[in-house]
């Protein structure tokens, strides 16, 4: 839940990157950190294992600048995607304002995407949030792998499996190269701000 | 969805943090919510910390400790305190949704700080309920 500080004229909103383990959530934030270094003055916080898997979360504060006189600060988080970390994953979702679901386009990860999306729905429900109402963007990541001959799910299939009911905006992306990473972020930020702005005067 | 506090409430909270903590010699005091948002923060000007990251980590840390408490059958662990060489951190839950973080040095006693935290807790509760 975003906090509006009327005194400092500041809004803080929380956007969480969700999705199956090794899907590329952390890579999204790393790319954003490198690309928008002028708006991000701090180091990225990463609580991870020795093997570079997210253990708790990654955190990146992003200064959006002023909207209607308010300084908007977006807090970007990732969750740990591994199934066993559900307790910490749920903690990161607390107070979430917008979600990017990073799906892994590799054919072998088909099932993992579906399970993770269902898990997102369940975890949101524990905070009385509905996946159909919350600002949500889908990202079909690792599209670059098709050039290396690795079997990738066609976008139509991904849409059908993950987005047929949600009908959320979706992007094909490569977090590693950076394709559509900024686009994904801009979309979720604008949706999140729009949902907040209804009440922001 | 979002929430806000009136300027008057924020002023009152800041006054409490100033009087009960900063004037006591605490280096930095921050009131956050459990999502990791900063409600109010004060420091002595000598701290160069990244307060937004601190808030995110504190909220996560507190959430993790609360979840552990439930697993071992405790409602919650009342004292959350990390001791360092020069700086110490004390966390205290304010009602269900907020967390007060104090960073202090050797010159401040933990006992006295806890007393102040308990007092501030009551005062802030009153503000939120008014
Ligand atoms: N080829 C390719 N590899 C990618 C892409 N995105 C991420 N990777 C790789 O996939 C692996 C996992 O990426 P992470 O960003 O750590 O995945 P994660 O979703 O944060 O994983 P967890 O922290 O375990 O949930 C890393 O080796 C990345 O380099 C991509 O778009 N293309
Ligand atoms: Mg990760």
Tokens of B68: 């552990």
Lowest mean pLDDT among A7-16, A75-84, B45-54, B55-64: B45-54
Q: Could you read off the pLDDT of B43-56 as tens digits, one per residue?
A: 988 766 788 899 99
**Interface with B, mutate which of A15, A39, A45, A60 (most B CBs under 10 A):** A45
| Owning domain of residue B87 | 7-129
- Domain membership of residue B30 (yes or no) is yes
Task: Give chain B's domain count.
Answer: 1
Write down the ipTM of this complex: 0.82
Residue B24 DSSP one-character state: G
Residues whose CB falls within 8 Å of the CB of residue A31, separated by 6 or more in sequence, listed in order: A175, A176, A178, A181
- The per-residue pLDDT for B1 is 62
Mean pLDDT of A91-113: 97
pLDDT at A200 over 80: no
Q: Give A17 Cα–ligand 2 centroid separation in angstroms.
A: 9
What mean pLDDT is predicted for residues B95-109? Answer: 92
Q: What is the pLDDT of residue A199?
A: 60
Task: Determine the average pLDDT of the residues in A158-168.
Answer: 98
Within-domain flag for B2: no
DSSP reduced 3-state for B112? helix
Indicate whether B18 belongs to any domain. yes
Query: Which distant-in-sequence residues (6+ apart) come within 8 Å of B97 by Cβ?
Result: B33, B34
What percentage of chain A has pLDDT greater than the value 70? Answer: 99
pLDDT at A69 over 60: yes
Q: In angstroms, how far apart are the furthest CA atoms of chain A?
A: 55
Q: For residue A17, give Cα distances in angstroms to A11, A79, A87, A137, A151.
A: 20, 6, 16, 10, 24
In a domain, B19, yes or no: yes
Does the beta carbon of A176 lie inside 6 Å of ligand 1? yes
Q: Is B19 helix (H, G, I), strand (E, B) or coil?
A: helix
Q: Does residue B125 fall inside a structural domain?
A: yes
- Tell me which chain A residues have a C-beta less than 8 angstroms from the C-beta of B57: 45, 47, 59
The alpha carbon dihedral of A169, A176, B37, B71 has a sign of: positive
Residue B1 in domain = no
Roughly what angle, to the nearest 10 degrees, separates helices B110-129 and B7-20?
Answer: 170
- Domain CATH code at residue B42: 3.30.450.30
pLDDT digit string, tens, across residues A106-149: 999 999 999 999 999 999 999 999 999 999 999 999 999 999 99
In a domain, B36, yes or no: yes
Distance of CA A117 to CAs A105, A123, A155, A188, B16, Å? Answer: 14, 10, 17, 17, 44
Taking alpha carbons only, the member of A181, A192, A15, A2 closest to residue A100 is A15
Altogether, the residues listed in chain B come to a count of 130
> Which residues 6+ apart lie within 8 Å of A106 measured at CB?
A142, A145, A150, A151, A152, A153
CA A33 – ligand 2 centroid, Å:
14
- State residue B99's pLDDT score: 94
pTM of the predicted structure, to 2 decimals: 0.92
Query: Domains in chain A, start-ordered, CATH in brackets?
Result: 3-199 (3.40.50.300)
Q: Is residue B84 part of a domain?
A: yes
Q: What count of other Cβ atoms lies within 10 Å of the Cβ of residue A111? A: 10
Q: How confident is the model at residue A57 (pLDDT cuts 50, 70, 90)?
A: very high
Q: What average pLDDT score do residues B27-33 get?
A: 95
* Residue A21 confidence class, pLDDT cut points 50, 70, 90: very high
Q: B53 vs A45: CB contact, 8 Å cut-off? A: yes
């Amino acid at each position: 839940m975003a906090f509006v500080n009327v005194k400092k004229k500041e809004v803080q909103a929380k956007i969480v990157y969700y999705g199956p383990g090794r899907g590329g959530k952390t890579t999204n934030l790393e790319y954003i950190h490198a690309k928008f270094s002028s708006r991000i003055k701090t180091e990225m916080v990463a609580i991870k294992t020795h093997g570079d898997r997210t253990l708790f979360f990654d955190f990146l504060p992003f200064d959006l600048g002023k909207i209607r006189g308010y300084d908007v600060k977006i807090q970007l988080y990732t969750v740990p995607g591994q199934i066993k970390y559900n307790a910490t994953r749920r903690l990161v979702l607390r107070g979430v304002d917008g979600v990017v679901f990073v799906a892994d386009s590799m054919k072998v990860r088909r099932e993992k995407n579906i399970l993770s999306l269902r898990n997102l729905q369940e975890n949101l429900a524990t905070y009385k949030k509905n996946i159909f109402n919350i600002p949500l963007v889908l990202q079909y990541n690792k599209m670059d792998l098709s050039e290396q001959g690795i079997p990738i799910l066609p976008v139509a299939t991904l849409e059908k499996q993950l987005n047929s009911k949600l009908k959320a905006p979706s992007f094909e992306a490569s977090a590693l190269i950076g394709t559509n990473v900024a686009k994904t972020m801009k979309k979720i930020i604008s949706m999140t701000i729009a949902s907040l702005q209804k009440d922001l005067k | 969805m979002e929430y806000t506090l009136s300027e008057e409430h924020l002023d009152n909270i800041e006054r409490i943090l100033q009087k009960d903590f900063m004037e006591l010699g605490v280096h930095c005091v921050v009131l956050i919510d459990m999502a990791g948002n900063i409600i109010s923060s004060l420091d002595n000007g000598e701290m160069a910390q990244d307060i937004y990251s601190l808030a995110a980590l504190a909220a996560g840390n507190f959430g993790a400790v609360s979840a552990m408490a439930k697993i071992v059958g405790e409602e919650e662990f009342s004292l959350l305190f990390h001791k360092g060489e020069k700086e110490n951190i004390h966390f205290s839950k304010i009602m269900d949704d907020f967390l007060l973080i104090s960073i202090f040095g050797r010159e401040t006693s933990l006992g006295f700080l806890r007393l102040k935290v308990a007092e501030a807790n009551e005062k802030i509760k009153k503000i939120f309920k008014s």
